Chain A
Amino acid sequence: MVDISTKISGIKLKTPLMLASGILGTAGTSLKRIAVFGGASAIVTKSLGVEPRSGHKGPTIVKSIAGGLISAIGLANPGYEAFKEELDIAKEGGVPVIGSAYGFSFREYIEVAQALESYGASAVELNLSYPNVGKTGAFYGKHTELSYEVVKAVKESVNIPVFAKLTANVSDIVKVAKACEEAGVDAITAITSLEAMKIDVNTGRPVLGNKVGGLSGPCIKPIALRCVYAITKEVDVPVIGCGGITTGEDALEFIMAGAQACQIGTGILTRGITIFKKIAREMEEIMEKQGYRNLDEIRGIAH
Chain B
Amino acid sequence: MRVTKIKEIIRETERIRTFVFEEKVDALPGQFVMVWIPDVDEKPLSLSKHKGDLTITVLAQGPFTNKMAELKVGDKVGIRGPFGRGFKIIGDNLLLVGGGVGVPPLAALADKAVEEGKNVTAIVGAITASELLFVDRLENIGARVLTCTDDGTAGKKGFTTDLLRDLLQKETFDSCYTCGPEIMMVKVLEQTKAKGIPTQVSMERYVKCGIGICGHCIVDGTGQRVCKEGPVFRDIEVEKITEFGKYRRDASGTKVYFRNR
Contacts and interface: CB of A to CB of B under 8 A. Distances in A.
Interface of A: 22-34, 46, 52-55, 57-63, 69, 71, 73, 76-79, 82, 89, 198, 200, 202-203, 205, 207, 209, 265-266, 268-269
8 contacts: A22-B214, A24-B215, A26-B215, A27-B215, A27-B249, A59-B34, A61-B208, A82-B254
A209 B253 CA distance: 19
Interface stretch (B36-44, B84-92, B93-101, B149-157): B36-44
Contact of B34 (A58, A76, A265): A58
Contacts of B141: none
Contact of A26 (B3, B34, B214): B214
A103 to B, nearest CB: 16
Contacts of B167: none
Given A30-B218, A76-B216, A60 B209 contact: yes
B132 to A, nearest CB: 30
Contacts of B76: 202-203
Interface in B198-244: 208-216, 218-225
A24 B214 contact: yes
Contact of A30 (B34, B40, B78, B223): B223
B155 to A, nearest CB: 37
A79 B42 contact: no
A198 B36 CA distance: 14
Interface in B155-176: none
Interface of B: 1, 3, 34, 36, 38-43, 76, 78, 80, 208-216, 218-225, 249-255
A60 B214 contact: yes
A101 to B, nearest CB: 15
A269 B211 contact: yes
A54 B218 CA distance: 16
B220 A73 contact: no
A23 B215 contact: yes
A82 B247 CA distance: 14
B222 A33 contact: yes
Given A24-B214, A24-B225, A32-B223, 13 more contacts: A23-B215, A26-B218, A26-B249, A29-B219, A29-B222, A52-B254, A58-B43, A61-B210, A61-B211, A61-B214, A78-B254, A205-B39, A269-B211
Contacts of A266: 213
B212 A269 contact: yes
Contact of B80 (A23, A46, A59, A202): A59
Contacts of A89: 220
Contacts of A31: 223
Nearest to A269: B213
A61 B212 CA distance: 11
A31 B253 CA distance: 14
B253 A207 contact: no
Contacts of B210: 61
B106 to A, nearest CB: 26
Secondary structure call for the B interface: loop
Contacts of B211: 61, 269
A207 B2 CA distance: 11
Contacts of A29: 218-223
Contacts of A30: 215, 218, 223, 225
Contact of B213 (A61, A202, A203): A61
Given A25-B215, A26-B215, A59 B78 contact: yes
Contacts of B36: 58-59, 207
A76 B208 contact: yes
A77 B250 CA distance: 10
A79 B214 CA distance: 17
A55 B251 contact: yes
A70 B243 CA distance: 31
B89 to A, nearest CB: 26
Contacts of A77: 252-253
A61 to B, nearest CB: 4
B3 A203 contact: yes
Which of A55, A59, A73, A82 is packed against the most chain B CB atoms within 10 Å?
Answer: A59
B40 A60 contact: no
Given A30-B223, A78-B254, A59 B1 contact: yes
The 5 closest A-B pairs by CB, nearest first: A58-B42, A33-B223, A24-B215, A54-B251, A29-B223
B203 to A, nearest CB: 15
Contacts of A52: 252-254
B42 A27 contact: no
B112 to A, nearest CB: 27
B244 to A, nearest CB: 13
Nearest to A35: B223
B252 A55 contact: yes
B41 A26 contact: no
A71 B216 CA distance: 14
Nearest to A19: B215
Which of A63, A69, A79, A203 is packed against the most chain B CB atoms within 10 Å?
Answer: A203
A57 B222 contact: no
A91 to B, nearest CB: 14
Contacts of B43: 58
